[in-house]
Structure formats: structure tokens, C-alpha cells
């Protein structure tokens, strides 16, 4: 019996075979498009989905709210929850076993003290100090030395707080004696005192002063008299979402995240 196909059947079989070969090729093309899209998105697309808790320094409050929203948009199904406080308070929370996935402090000293609790830290940004004064600078404060005037109400952060330690460092280096009317637990508390008129001046990060442009002016401190703050980020070893936490920490160094930080006034790491 002959197995030869008629011309019509041969054409039909060829068409079916061609279609079958094209299907996997099309699928490969779609995968490549997805990979390209992930690369353009900053490298975190496809990160494991999770509800993350990130402990972050008070000075990151505004910028991290923006960054968190951007990360969630890039990674549907992931939620980033922030807990903001002074870095020394965050360190205490970590030591006490607070449930969290990542940590970002306003200094390397605090992070270095938690080596047994964190992964390897990466500095994601830098910052520097300014003198925060009331809008219009009613006391005409122009330089650090002016803060020693006895009639001024100056507020600083406590010395165990990174910004308080930086403040003490630059005042001591310039041999300026300042007697603060209060010492606050974090930089936002210092800023609030100046905003409310409860203090004439306070030392804060420039990014914090920038969050209250209608209530506070910033007097620049020359680089030679200033201090630079480093912001390291790390995963926490107790995290239940290790891969997702690592993806978020890695994302903080991507161009997308760095642009958000730059736009807020933070400097390159």
C-alpha cells in the first residue's frame, strides 16, 4: 500500500510543522522582552514577594516613603513598611530582637556595632550638617561661632545620636562652646523645635532642613568645618524574608533609587 501524500495534504502538513516550530520561538522572544524590561526597571523586577519591615534613620523619613512607593510599583505584591527612629534606638530594637528585615542607619559606627546581627552593609548615601534657623533667619546667624551667643536658644541632638555626635565633633573641632537648651533623641525632634519657634537654631542634616522650606532656613557650614554622614544599609540575619530583604537593600544602590535620594538632597555614597 502506498504511503505517498497528495500535494494538498503535503502543504497542510508543512503548515502545521511550521506553526509548531514558531510557537517556542515566540515564547523565547517574550522571555527576552521580560528580561530586558527587568534590567531597565533597576534590577529588582522579579524579586521575591514579601511584606518587608525596614528600620531606618529618622532623616530618611520623607525620601524613603517615596523610595518605598517606587519599589512597590516596580515589584507588585511586595509591601515595604518603614519604622523610623534615631539610629541608636534602631540598634536597641535590633538587639532586642524586634521583627524586621533590613536596617539603614545614619552612621557607620552604629551599623558596625551590629556586625553579628546584620549582613554586609553597603553605604547608599551621604549627608552633611547645616544650621537650621527660623524662616528669614531672624537672629541673623551666619556661622557656627554665632551659636555660642548666650542669648540664643540652641537645640542639639543627644550625643549618642549620630547627628548629635557629628554636631559635637564639629563644635569641638572649632572650639565653640554651645550650651543647648535641650538635647533631642533624633534629628527630626531638633528640626521640630526650630519649626515651632521653641529654639532659635539647631544643627540638622541639610536634607531635613529641606523638608520644611516654609518654616526653616538653612545656614550652610563650610566643608572645612563640617562633617559627612554615611548611610549604610544591611539585611538583618533574623529576617524571615532574607532574599526579598537582600533585593531591597541591593535596589537602594540602583540608578532609580539613587535618583530619588539625589532629588531629596542626599549625596552620592
Gap between the Cα atoms of 25 and 264, Å rounded: 45
Three-state SS string across 215-233, please? CEEEEECCHHHCCEEEEEE
Fold match flag (51-126+230-263 vs 127-228): yes
Gap between the Cα atoms of 224 and 78, Å rounded: 43
SS3 content of the chain, % helix, strand, coil (to 5): 45, 20, 35
* Pairing verdict, β 51-57 and 182-184: unpaired
Work out the pLDDT band at 245, boundaries 50, 70, 90.
very high
Least confident range from 8-12, 204-208, 242-246: namely 8-12
Selected residue with higher pLDDT from 141 and 5: 141
Is pLDDT at 148 greater than 50 in this prediction? Answer: yes
pTM (2 d.p.) = 0.81
Query: What is the topology classification, in CATH, of domain 127-228?
Result: D-Maltodextrin-Binding Protein; domain 2 (3.40.190)
Least confident range from 37-41, 131-135, 251-255: namely 37-41
Parse the chain into domains and list their residue ranges: 51-126+230-263, 127-228
Contact 119, 234 (CB under 8 A): yes
Q: How many CB atoms lie within 10 A of CB 165?
A: 20
Contact 261, 60 (CB under 8 A): no
The 3-state DSSP class for residue 183 equals: strand
CATH number of 51-126+230-263: 3.40.190.10
Contact 203, 163 (CB under 8 A): yes
pLDDT number for residue 44? 60
pLDDT digits (tens, 9 = 90+) for 66-98: 999 999 999 999 999 999 999 999 999 999 999
Amino acid at each position: 500500500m502506498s504511503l505517498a501524500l497528495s500535494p494538498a495534504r503535503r502543504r497542510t502538513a508543512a503548515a502545521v510543522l511550521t506553526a509548531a516550530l514558531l510557537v517556542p520561538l515566540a515564547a523565547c522572544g517574550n522571555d527576552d522582552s521580560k528580561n530586558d524590561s527587568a534590567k531597565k526597571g533597576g534590577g529588582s523586577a522579579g524579586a521575591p514577594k514579601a511584606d518587608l519591615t525596614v528600620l531606618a534613620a529618622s532623616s530618611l523619613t520623607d525620601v524613603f516613603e517615596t523610595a518605598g512607593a517606587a519599589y512597590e510599583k516596580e515589584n507588585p505584591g511586595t509591601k515595604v513598611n518603614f519604622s523610623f527612629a534615631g539610629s541608636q534606638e534602631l540598634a536597641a530594637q535590633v538587639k532586642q530582637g524586634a521583627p524586621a528585615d533590613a536596617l539603614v542607619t545614619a552612621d557607620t559606627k552604629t551599623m558596625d556595632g551590629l556586625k553579628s546581627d546584620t549582613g554586609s552593609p553597603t553605604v547608599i548615601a551621604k549627608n552633611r550638617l547645616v544650621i537650621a534657623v527660623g524662616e528669614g533667619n531672624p537672629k541673623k546667624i551666619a556661622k557656627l561661632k554665632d551659636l555660642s551667643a548666650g542669648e540664643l536658644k540652641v537645640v542639639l541632638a543627644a550625643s549618642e545620636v549620630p547627628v548629635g555626635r557629628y554636631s559635637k565633633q564639629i563644635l569641638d573641632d572649632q572650639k565653640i562652646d554651645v550650651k543647648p537648651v535641650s538635647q533631642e533623641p533624633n534629628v527630626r525632634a531638633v528640626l521640630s523645635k526650630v519649626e515651632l519657634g521653641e529654639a532659635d537654631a539647631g544643627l540638622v542634616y541639610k536634607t531635613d532642613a529641606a523638608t520644611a522650606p516654609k518654616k526653616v532656613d538653612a545656614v550652610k557650614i563650610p566643608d572645612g568645618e563640617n562633617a559627612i554622614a554615611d548611610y549604610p544599609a544591611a539585611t538583618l540575619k533574623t529576617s524571615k524574608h532574607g532574599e526579598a530583604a537582600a533585593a531591597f537593600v541591593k535596589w537602594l544602590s540602583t540608578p532609580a533609587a539613587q535618583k530619588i535620594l539625589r532629588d531629596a538632597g542626599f549625596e552620592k555614597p
